[in-house]
Structure 1
């Protein structure tokens, strides 16, 4: 099933499959999400979903349950 993914704040929109890794979807959309450990420990790749839930993009995939997903990219990483 296809999901419309919006990367905010620039509102870059791309289609993705449920379960597709977020880093791969971002790369396909021309977005570079900073990474560190690629295991979810350092939180360099932390993004926020619609509901305000913070997740590590390196270990997360496009969630099921909606036809639309907004991923808020942090503009100031603070580390």
Structure 2
């Protein structure tokens, strides 16, 4: 299990590697805006604590990070979305 913490609300939830970012956020009660749901519009972008930006509509939780136990994601809400 991987603990995912969404900032700025400090909401944490357990997730399995390979789960969709959007489904994990929904389960945690965190709204991540979406637009195209294909990764090109950028509405669903979050920044991880390590500085990496990901498109949550096309990304999964730590699918390529086998040693990962905790991920912190900064959710920014653009008022246009």
The TM-score, its normalising length taken from structure 1, stands at 0.91
Gaps of 5+ in 1: none
Query: Would you say how many aligned residue pairs link Structure 1 and Structure 2?
Result: 77
Where does 1:54-65 land on structure 2 (aligned, <5 Å)?
54-63=53-62, 64=65, 65=67
Secondary structure of the 2:57 match is helix
State the partner residue of 1:12: 11
Where does 1:1-79 land on structure 2 (aligned, <5 Å)?
2-63=1-62, 64=65, 65-75=67-77, 77=78, 79=80
Gaps of 5+ in 2: none
| Partner Cα distance (2:10, 2:79) in 1 | 23
Secondary structure of the 1:26 match is helix
| Partner Cα distance (1:7, 1:27) in 2 | 11
State the Cα RMSD in Å.
1.2
